[in-house]
Structure 1
Amino acid sequence: MCLGFLFQIMKKDDCFYLGKIVKKYSFKGELLAKLDTDEPDLYDNLDAIFIDLRGNLVPFFIEASQLHKSDLLRLKFEDVDTEADADALLKSDLYLPLELLPKLEGNKFYFHEIIGFTMKDENFGLVGKIVGVNDTTSQALFEVDRQGVEILVPMNDEFIVKIDRDNKTVIVNTPQGLIDLYLSQ
């Protein structure tokens, strides 16, 4: 991995959330991080990572790392050699630059990637502009703005027909009347 990104000031908007440091692993400063990914093995050979310390992304160089129990990553950072050093990093969020995200194809997408895309429904027509994703519910929702009206569309694989990256469009096929519910209020 190229370390050139470490010499830039990184903002959260330029990064993606990788996970959180959840507990100490040893008395030598090792930590365990819970990764927010379906493919944790993509991240077991990192050279460096950004840690959110009081709202600032601080680069940490990694001496050693290995997967531990499927979705945990065991990390040993340079200059984190004691239990006290490790304690200072507990519960911290981990970030990497967006350019390190693996490219997705077809109908798979990252939430940040589709912000600003236009949503079209095969039955309804033009729905509006995707302005956000609500992933705090049991099912993630597209947040779509239609001339000032918020429309929430479930991110259901059965509803998503196509992610058209070239035209920045998400084509869906929602149940009849779903979009009309928001417009008749």
Structure 2
Amino acid sequence: MPVNGIELRNDAGPLFRVGVVVATHGLRGDLRVRPATAGSLALADARELTVLLPSGERCLRTARRVSPHGASLLLALEGCSHIDQAQAYVGAELYMAQADLATPEDGSLYWHQLEGLRVIDRRLGVVGTLESLLETPGHDLYVVQGPYGEVLLPAVAAMIEAIDLEAGEMRVNLPEGLIGLND
């Protein structure tokens, strides 16, 4: 995923955004992190984090501890043991190597694998490109930009026929009238 036009990578390969530091927590330098995807614990798998500080500076840090804390995660970094040190990280974006991710056991995919896929409907053909994900209480919605404008597709298995990562495609079977509902 390019950041300011630069593809972020490290020795382990491409990086992806895993969260953002929203606040400090306590006096011992812990950080409160909002995961990039709600409920994601991917940060716990990170061996090394690339930290993009609000100043634009990039640095590498090792996570000592990651634990759930409500909708957030608490992160302790090596070398950050006081609230004064932690304050410098507020607003920082956290990136980790895709290679550090655990393979989902249920066959599901990570968002970074889906982002940018071309969405093709059985009836309508190309609907557009999968741009983002909206998290809602009922189910997530895929935001697709293309010839029909912005289309919101429910991210449910009943509508998805196939995902071919090598071809960069998601094949769907949309119900009649769904495209018109987004107008």
1:155 aligns with 2:118: no
1:59 is aligned to: 59
Q: TM-score, normalised by structure 2?
A: 0.67
2:8 is aligned to: 11
Report the structure, 1 or 2, having the larger helix content: 1
Q: Is the 8 A contact 1:45 1:66 kept in 2?
A: no
Shift of 1:142: 3.3
* Structure of higher CA gyration radius: 1
1:126 aligns with 2:125: yes
Provide the C-alpha distance between the structure 1 equivalents of 2:25 and 2:52, rounded to a whole number of angstroms.
20
3-state secondary structure, aligned to 1:85: helix
Q: TM-score, normalised by structure 1?
A: 0.67
3-state secondary structure, aligned to 1:44: helix
Provide the C-alpha distance between the structure 2 equivalents of 1:90 and 1:63, rounded to a whole number of angstroms.
16
Provide the C-alpha distance between the structure 1 equivalents of 2:63 and 2:166, rounded to a whole number of angstroms.
40
1:16-70 Cα distance to aligned partner (Å, 9 max, x none): 2212223333433232323345452x53364421222136362232262141436
Q: How many correspondences in the alignment? A: 168
Provide the C-alpha distance between the structure 2 equivalents of 1:56 and 1:150, rounded to a whole number of angstroms.
33
1:90-136 Cα distance to aligned partner (Å, 9 max, x none): 232211133334445887334443345332223x1412441522538
Runs of 4+ in 1 over 6 A off after TM superposition: none
Provide the C-alpha distance between the structure 1 equivalents of 2:15 and 2:56, rounded to a whole number of angstroms.
12
2:143 is aligned to: 142
- For the aligned residue pairs, the C-alpha RMSD in angstroms reads 3.5
Provide the C-alpha distance between the structure 2 equivalents of 1:106 and 1:43, rounded to a whole number of angstroms.
19
Provide the C-alpha distance between the structure 2 equivalents of 1:68 and 1:115, rounded to a whole number of angstroms.
26
